Chain A
Amino acid sequence: AQRVTQPEKLLSVFKGAPVELKCNYSYSGSPELFWYVQYSRQRLQLLLRHISRESIKGFTADLNKGETSFHLKKPFAQEEDSAMYYCALRGGSEKLVFGKGTKLTVNP
């Protein structure tokens, strides 16, 4: 079975502080992992995918197969990072399996 767990429903940090949004997954094969973000009143959009190994808006995420994790990190949070963040997995088929999401609030 494919499952994505985001243990934190809410996460609040101060501007300039480091932020880490946790994501753990369960899948027996080699997954593709994604982070999607939804800013207030906007549609869901892709933030990054593990195969790209890129940094978007200062965010990075490393796939750790040993710990089955794909945590999202940013060294210095900005107020505009406040949003809902969803971790997603794609296994052997085309469908995405999403976690329940983490609402990040960056306080001034």
Chain B
Amino acid sequence: NAGVMQNPRHLVRRRGQEARLRCSPMKGHSHVYWYRQLPEEGLKFMVYLQKENIIDESGMPKERFSAEFPKEGPSILRIQQVVRGDSAAYFCASSLDRRETQYFGPGTRLLVL
């Protein structure tokens, strides 16, 4: 099992551009979580998805951010019109079932110039 995969590992965007972050969960896992880590901070929950459904988006900023987990393919975290404050490490985790152990990916480091 290759573990949770995230790509790209590093992403550079200019202010106003769009950022798309991808997460492929572990094989057999249908629960995906996105977390964001700002410099010198802990990981902060953003959104929890199951296949084709958003279960909990209480940590998502109200504007510019969206997430999906389609029936086929990876989960996508999309940030529109990026600003410098979006620069952070974005981690994806997956689990076999709700409240099971969350396994983390290596993260995507987003830098907004």
Contacts and interface: CB of A to CB of B under 8 A. Distances in A.
Q: Real complex partners, A and B? A: yes
Interface in A85-108: 86, 90, 93-101
Interface residues of B, number: 27
A98 B91 contact: no
A32 B102 CA distance: 13
Interface residues of A, number: 20
Contact of A46 (B33, B44, B45, B101): B101
Contacts of B48: 93-95
Interface stretch (B10-18, B35-43, B80-88): B35-43
Nearest to A43: B106
A100 B42 contact: yes
Contacts of A74: none
A4 B91 CA distance: 19
The interface centre, meaning the residue of A95, A97, A99 with most chain B CB atoms within 10 A of its CB, is A95
Given A43-B105, A43-B106, A100 B56 contact: no
Given A43-B105, A43-B107, A44-B91, A94 B99 contact: yes
B101 A101 contact: no
Nearest to A32: B99
B109 interface: no
Contact of B42 (A94, A95, A101): A101
Query: Which of B45, B95, B99, B105 has most A Cβ within 10 Å?
Result: B45
B99 A98 contact: no
Contacts of B58: 95
A95 B56 contact: yes
B99 A90 contact: yes
Contacts of A96: 33, 35, 43, 45, 102
Interface of A: 4, 6, 32, 36, 43-46, 49, 86, 90, 93-101
Given A96-B45, A100-B40, 15 more contacts: A4-B42, A6-B42, A44-B43, A46-B101, A93-B48, A93-B56, A94-B48, A94-B56, A94-B95, A94-B98, A95-B56, A95-B59, A96-B35, A98-B43, A100-B42
